[in-house]
Chain A
Amino acid sequence: MSYIIELDNVNKIYGTDVRTQVLTDVSLHFKKGSFSSIIGQSGSGKSTLLNIMGTLDTPTSGTVLLDGMDTSKMSRNKLAEIRNQTIGFVFQFHYLLPEFTALENVLMPYRIGGGKITREITEKAKEYMSLVGLEKVMNNNATKMSGGQQQRTAIARAILNNPALILADEPTGNLDSDSTETIYKLLRDINEKMETTFIIITHDRNIAEKTDRIIEIADGKINMDISRT
């Protein structure tokens, strides 16, 4: 079985004078097409771990292999390319571009990848947006949407380039339980149809229990790692 992402002995220390060890010897391997969740208390290092997996942050020591390639040996441009083509992010604070409409936000990763906006890709974006229930607000400015709508826009944006890996930090954090359920089903659906690997950070035990693998982080260490068989 091949892995999409492999972390070996990853340590992360912030600060030089006052050193704070956020991650300690974390080794994790994720299979292609798997659906995993990371749980843990605030400040346990979950987000840092996710950022390192997404090449946004670099480990102080240890290696991160993406699709078998060592990310520490990649140029900044190569990393940018990987973030654009291989990874889809759904951040806790959704992070849409307020100057653009929801649809334009969804199309942004495609444009960054150098693609021309054709009728085909626009249709695809619209399809994803209706998939997450945004067909009515597609042309709204990102700032003129509710938190839940913004979060769903961020999900549509993350999946547009059909990335192999989607990293989501509390994708349902700001949503009510009905929406949470819808989003989860949506992610699961994409996971099954497109064999996209999902790693999601969640506080929601219900969601975590539905995933294939639950990893619990406590004080920067792996406290628990259970897989459903």
Chain B
Amino acid sequence: MRLAFGIATRFLKSNISQTLIILLGIGIGISVQIFIGSLIQGLQKSLVDTTIGSSSQITITSKAEDKLMYDYSDLMTSVQEADSSVKAISPVYDNSVLMDDNGKTQSLLVRGFDLSLADEIYHISEALSEGRMPEKPWEIILGQSLSDEYGLAIGDKVSIITPDKKTQECEITGFFDLKVAQINDSWCIMPLSSAQELFGAGDAVTSIEMQVNRADVFSADQIADKILAQINSADYEVTNWKGQNEQLLSGLSGQSISSLMIQVFVMLSVVLGIASVLAITVMQKSKQIGILKAMGIKNRTASLIFLFEGLILGIFGAIAGIILGLSLSAAFTTFARNADGTPIVSLYIDAKFIALSGGIAILACLFASLIPARKSSRLNPIDIIRNN
């Protein structure tokens, strides 16, 4: 083992420029793999974040005709008992209304939130473009686009008309921009108690919305199943974002597969490159192998020399690749920026993924050195001695 290792390092050192070129080749391959992987993972994370990061990921609704849930606080306790990955949970009362602003009407969706709880899901306070959150009864906030369209300002009073023709005057305390036009155009956010009173719903809500921990986003369907099992009642329905975003999911999985394909082919070309270079090295070193065999080196040791060469190239190539890949990623996030200074794509640097890439690189190099190792093992010293 030691002998084979010693000969392998000497062979590599004796032709250092060739060794460095091979290392560069492996390094570039691995760096591309790491870069593409981090890029796609980052893209997916930011896509998932923007799509469902500020919305309900699991929602409990009632199957009753009036859609009302009176025992919502018990349900919320059950949910939290069912799965610890639920990080934010909020009761909501929804109903549609008409807003009347001096004769101009606009249909709105009243969203009655327990504002401190809902803020954890929708990040409303961060999305406020002006004004403040509603605090007192009959205070509301509207989307920024409505302010622009109707010329509304903070402190203005608007009339809200319920389907039962009940009219209520409300004061606008702020405008939000939740980055989704449909939401900005239609949501009218008010405290839960105001919404309940507006529609005479007593202490009932129409849904319970929740978000799970970031790492568990893709298990939302399983968590939803658990919650359904826990509340154990046919009166409720539990929906999750995955069921409602099949197109997004198939897009994401398509992206994952194509990223994986790119990575596999990059790795394949690295393997083929190393294999062919090592095969040439066996040719270059066949005289030496012949001499060593004439001096009594065993076939196993002769093949070990090239396996060690593969291993050494793999380890150093992986290190070079990781350094290159991370620098490339750092350069990309530093120089490719939006007008507001945020990176166009925030890469997701996952230590596990990088370690895995490095590990695969080493294994690939070992695998690539199998052919030259076999050649070396089979080399007959007499062919070298006889042909000089």
Q: Which residues of A contact B (CB under 8 A)?
A: 47, 51, 54, 56-57, 76-77, 80-85, 89, 91-93, 95-100, 108-109, 111-113, 157
Contacts and interface: CB of A to CB of B under 8 A. Distances in A.
28 contacts: A51-B385, A51-B386, A56-B294, A56-B385, A57-B382, A76-B298, A80-B298, A80-B299, A82-B296, A83-B294, A83-B296, A84-B296, A84-B297, A89-B294, A89-B295, A91-B385, A95-B294, A97-B291, A97-B292, A99-B7, A99-B11, A99-B14, A108-B292, A111-B3, A111-B6, A112-B301, A113-B296, A157-B295
Most buried by B among A80, A81, A85, A100: A80
A51 B3 contact: no
Which 5 A-B residue pairings sit nearest by Cβ, starting from the closest? A84-B296, A99-B14, A83-B296, A95-B291, A56-B382
Contact of A109 (B6, B288, B296): B296
B226 interface: no
Contacts of B6: 111
A112 B297 contact: yes
B293 interface: yes
Contacts of B13: 99
B77 to A, nearest CB: 71
Contacts of A99: 7, 10-11, 13-14, 288
Nearest to B388: A93
Interface in B13-34: 13-14
B287 interface: yes
B377 to A, nearest CB: 10
B313 to A, nearest CB: 17
B326 to A, nearest CB: 34
Contact of A84 (B7, B288, B295, B300): B295
A112 B381 CA distance: 15
A15 B91 CA distance: 91
A96 B287 CA distance: 10
Nearest to B297: A112
Interface of B: 3, 6-7, 10-11, 13-14, 287-288, 290-301, 381-382, 385-386, 388
B296 A112 contact: yes
A219 to B, nearest CB: 18
A77 B296 CA distance: 8
Given A80-B296, A99-B13, A113-B296, 14 more contacts: A51-B386, A56-B385, A57-B382, A77-B300, A80-B299, A81-B296, A82-B296, A85-B296, A89-B294, A95-B385, A99-B10, A109-B295, A109-B296, A112-B296
Contacts of A83: 294-296
Contacts of B14: 98-99
A109 B293 CA distance: 10
A86 B11 CA distance: 27
Nearest to A157: B295
Contacts of A93: 388
A108 B4 CA distance: 12
Contacts of B3: 111-112
A83 B385 CA distance: 14
Contacts of B385: 51, 56, 91, 95
Given A51-B385, A95-B287, A111-B3, A100 B295 contact: no
Contact of B288 (A89, A91, A97): A97
A57 B387 CA distance: 13
Contacts of B299: 76-77, 80
A22 to B, nearest CB: 11
